[in-house]
A and B are shown apart, each in its own frame.
Chain A
Amino acid sequence: MDVQALLSFLVGVVVSGLVLGFVYAIIALGYTMVYGVLQLINFAHSEVFITGAVVGFEVFRVLATAPINGYLKLIIALLSAMIISGLLNVLIERLAYRPLRNAPRLVPLITAIGVSLILQDLLRILEGFQGRFDLTYTLPQGFSNTFCGSTSSCAAFGSFLSGIGVQLQIKEVILVVVAVLMLALLNYIVNYTRMGRAIRAVAQDRVTAGLMGIDSNRMISLTFLIGGALGGVSGVLFGLKFGTINAYSGFDPGIVAFTAAVLGGIGSIPGAVLGGLVLGVIQNLIGVTNILGSLLGIANLQSIDASYQRIGAFILLVVILIVKPTGLLGRSNTEKV
């Protein structure tokens, strides 16, 4: 095995890890925003996310034969998922968390797990009535093609990409573009608008913000709306990338994204993004450790294969938390008070 082949293999692995990382990143934002404002781990977020994925599936299914542009279908899917997941998240907050706002912290956490289980089975029933369980996305033509294939106008760029070992599909490029747009939009809302300032004020001190004339309940609902909408988008992107989802497939990415949020420093928006990307890359690298081990002649690594992906991510989390308990970009709590 020559060095060039090894390098391009590694580049390919890192790039596909980054693509995966963007999905984790925007799921992680849903956790981090709610945590930032309420100090609540919204475990129902993985189901809000998979609801978005189911909405996306339904939109693509209904529009499968409609004579409209594939990108328009995608936009319709994204918007519907944003609206439904966002409203669902607001509803969850109103029914399950608000009545418990002054209860000890453990109580809403347990409620969140309960909501998560209820939503899983609701989705299962909804699709089950139509005789479906594993939902397979019917994507518009061309989405699965390789980005910059040989026939397209950017052939030179395409051959450069494949030369360095990067093989992207159009849908993966869409995924990254949409994720980056969402991140930019969120950054703008939180940091540069009145609404964002109000949300940050509530996050810092709910009571004082109330005294300043900010309706904290409204701001909390708004936070849940934005968090849910991000969840909806990430659900559609997840479906786009992997093709098949079911009512229970939110749990896995949900847990990884939560880990990403903690890794980056929960409550911090750039931290969630960084955590997501790091976890995506780490997972993919651990998945290929056995091959690297055999290529580099390190026998001990050869038994670490793809089944260790998740464990590796969690070991990394533990290490980071020992070294820097607030996470990569987190600030310590005392600053907040």
Chain B
Amino acid sequence: MKKSGLITLAMVSALSMGSAFAQQTIKIATLTPLSGGQSDLGTQIQNGARLAVNEYKARFAKLGFNLQLVGYDDQADPATGTANARKIAADRSILAVVGTLNSGVAIPASQALAPSRVAMISPANTANSVTDRGLKNMNRIVARDDAQGPAGAQFIINTLKAKKVYVLDDKTAYGEGLASEVDKALKAKGIQVVGREGTEEKSDFSAIISKIQLLKPDAIYFGGIYNQVGVFAKQLREKGVNAPLIGGDGYDSSELLTIAGEGAKGIYFTTVAAPIEALPAAKTFSANYQKTFKKPAQGFGAFGYDAAKVALQGILDAIKTNKNKMPSRAQVETAIRKVKATGLLSGNVEFNSVGDRKAAKMYIMSVGDNLKFKLAETIDVKAPRQ
């Protein structure tokens, strides 16, 4: 036994010595859904990351490294994602991961990658616990769920200039949490919350609408999901109430427009997923994307590109601190947390101590007169910890 171990050791060291003279390979991986219902979004992220890798290839080659991108499929499924994270951990040439799309996958996958110190940069996950667990390897470049409430409140105060607001929720953890955040933020700014209630009702909102008619709020906040809010909006407008209706990313579905019909006018919602037109720097990126993949780029493509650029910047920093030699995964992990990336499509990226983007952006979408979503405003949000 001991002998064979020694032989293996000798062989491994011989191999690594051999590769020291040839060009070394550095890989970054993407972990996104490439099959199943969400594969379209996952492929966007992968494609965006590929454009970033293509851009950085020459700079890595100059330092003597061969840069590659490998795509892993998580099928939007936590178990598959975790299994693939273990495969990533086993491939020593992978130094960072761009992913995932779903918070539910990111949480176990980052846990699986943590012992082998593979850094992860998420282009899409919003759940607070993605970074609240304080893992050293988990970072994200989008705003967190708990930024939505304050951003919604800020929009109500600054843009809608409302003085009286009616706050509703759907009595779920999501809706109630969001509505309480808004309630708190509004009251802190001295805005009058004239009504605050929860309802599980799915079809009959007549009592609530009567109250709204009586109290005449300047704006209504409803923390809920599109299928309930759509019905509410329809009945609200039919009763002649035209006050703006605001909510969170639970509204982000074209079904909202189908259900509410004409009643969708005057609806606003906060989301981290910017449409590509909302990113001022994305023109060249869009053109490149179209040329390379023969498909139009969308928001997630841009965030995949940005996340990959942050990863590559981190790896370059690690190479520098390691005197232009192949850095270890731990060095990359530390370098990414300390990265200062500028001029990305979504602005500058810096992480706080747990991996949240210090200054992220929240996008406010609105429903226009043509009953389509359009960008109304961009709001800067700070990470809860600096």
With an 8 Å Cβ cutoff, the count of chain B residues facing the other chain is 30
- Which of B203, B204, B235, B238 gathers most chain A CB within 10 Å? B204
Number of inter-chain CB pairs below 8 Å: 84
Known A307-B197, A307-B199, A309-B201; contact A243-B234, beta-carbon cutoff 8 A:
yes
Closest to A13 in B: B210
Known A136-B261, A307-B200; contact A287-B238, beta-carbon cutoff 8 A:
no
Closest to B196 in A: A305
Partner of A306, one of B199, B203, B231, B238: B199
Partner of B231, one of A169, A242, A290: A242
- How many angstroms between the C-alpha atoms of A288 and B258 in the bound complex? 29
Known A136-B258, A244-B259, A291-B214; contact A306-B235, beta-carbon cutoff 8 A:
no
Interface bin, chain A:
20 to 34
Contact B207 A243 (CB under 8 A): no
| Residues of A close to B200: CB separation below 8 A | 307
Closest to B206 in A: A16
Contact A243 B201 (CB under 8 A): no
Partner of B203, one of A9, A17, A252, A287: A252
| Residues of B close to A249: CB separation below 8 A | 202-203
Known A305-B197, A309-B201; contact A5-B207, beta-carbon cutoff 8 A:
no
Contacting A at CB under 8 A, from B182-210, are 195, 197-204, 206-208, 210
- How many angstroms between the C-alpha atoms of A294 and B376 in the bound complex? 36
| Residues of B close to A144: CB separation below 8 A | 238
Contact A245 B203 (CB under 8 A): yes
Interface string of B238-249 (1 = CB under 8 A from A): 111000000000
- How many angstroms between the C-alpha atoms of A20 and B255 in the bound complex? 26
Name A's B-contacting residues (CB within 8 A).
5, 9, 12-13, 16-17, 20, 134, 136, 144, 146, 167, 169, 238, 242-245, 249, 252-253, 283-284, 286-288, 290-291, 305-307, 309
* Selected A-B contacts with CB under 8 Å, 22 pairs: A5-B214, A9-B213, A12-B210, A17-B206, A20-B204, A134-B227, A134-B258, A136-B258, A146-B240, A167-B240, A242-B235, A243-B234, A244-B231, A252-B203, A284-B207, A287-B210, A288-B207, A288-B210, A290-B197, A290-B211, A291-B215, A307-B197
Which 4 A/B pairs are nearest by Cβ-Cβ distance?
A: A287-B207, A305-B197, A242-B203, A16-B206
